[in-house]
Amino acid sequence: QQQVKQSPQSLIVQKGGISIINCAYENTAFDYFPWYQQFPGKGPALLIAIRPDVSEKKEGRFTISFNKSAKQFSLHIMDSQPGDSATYFCAARTSGSARQLTFGSGTQLTVLP
Amino acid sequence: ETGVTQTPRHLVMGMTNKKSLKCEQHLGHNAMYWYKQSAKKPLELMFVYNFKEQTENNSVPSRFSPECPNSSHLFLHLHTLQPEDSALYLCASSQDPTRDTEAFFGQGTRLTVV
């Protein structure tokens, strides 16, 4: 019940295109959904996060869309740039005292110049 | 830099060796975590320490032994590891694991067990 399923495993996008990464979950106790970005040789870094009381959050070129009824959320990267090439992880956190992050398996994004 | 420093960055060890991974955070956080990152798999939470007390141990084999002497330092002691333990081991910290505070990750230790 703690699993977060992420797709696709890898994604290749042309510069200027839109990158879309999807995640789905089962546990309705999740109440916080962050996305992390990881460059080679670096640890993951928080990119953007959303709570289930809103359906969309936008920060610059990055947008999270959240569908509570479908238990799905996605990351959209507009005007994708080669510098966006990285591995992206979705995650979800439960409410209550044991607020552990459960991560998806990651998407390796390559943006071609 | 995120304020979380891990050493060493790379480690190769034999199955009979004993080694330790070190993590230090300079952010004044109260919680520290060990994660295991294997290729094409989700990050796996191994241990959680809150105010130096271990609050989570996610069924991690006893060949991994954590130590948290204070809120700024976290160690992972390794002994008699298996080749399948080869992975990137990430340390993270956050202000308080019971609240929605961001987790900051170190750069990780790339461990290879031969």
Distance from CA of A73 to the nearest CA of B (A): 17
Taking an 8 Å cut-off on Cβ atoms, the answer to whether B42 and A9 are in contact is: no
Q: How sure is the predictor about A33, in pLDDT bands with cuts at 50, 70 and 90?
A: very high
pLDDT of A98 reads 55
User: Which residue, among B43, B55, B58, B110, would best test binding to A if mutated, counting the most A CBs under 10 Å from its CB?
Assistant: B43
Structural tokens at position B70: 């204070």
pLDDT digits (tens, 9 = 90+) for A77-99: 999 999 999 999 999 987 665 56
DSSP track, A39-57:
-TTS--EEEEEE-TT-SEE
Q: Closest Cα of chain A to B25: distance in Å?
A: 14
Q: Does B60 touch chain A (CB under 8 A)?
A: no
Mean pLDDT of A48-61: 94
To the nearest whole number, what is the mean pLDDT of chain A? 92
- Are residues A113 and A15 in contact, defined by beta-carbon separation less than 8 angstroms? yes
Give A98's contacts in chain B (Cβ within 8 Å).
55-56, 97
Distance, in Å, from the CA atom of A34 to the CA atom of B101, rounded to the nearest integer, reads 11
Residues of chain B with pLDDT under 70: 1-2, 97-101
Closest CA–CA distance from residue A84 to any residue of chain B (Å): 18
Query: Based on C-alpha coordinates, what's the Rg of chain B?
Result: 13
Residue with tokens 């696709």: A8
Chain A: nearest CA to B82, how far in angstroms? 23
Residue B91 has a pLDDT of: 96
Range A22-49 average pLDDT: 92
**Which of B4, B45, B100, B109 is most worth mutating to test chain A (most A CB atoms within 10 A of its CB)?**
B100
- Which of A3, A107, A93 lies closest to B94, judged by CA? A93
CB spacing of A100 vs B45 below 8 angstroms: yes
Q: What is the pLDDT of residue A24?
A: 97
Q: How far is residue B102 from each of residues A35, A45, A49, A89, B83, measured CA to CA in Å?
A: 11, 9, 10, 15, 32
Interface residue A94 vs chain B (CB under 8 A): no
Contacts of B90 in chain A (CB under 8 A): 43-44
Kindly tell me if the per-residue pLDDT of A26 is higher than 80: yes
Residues 69-108 of B with CB under 8 A from A: 90, 92, 97-100, 102-108
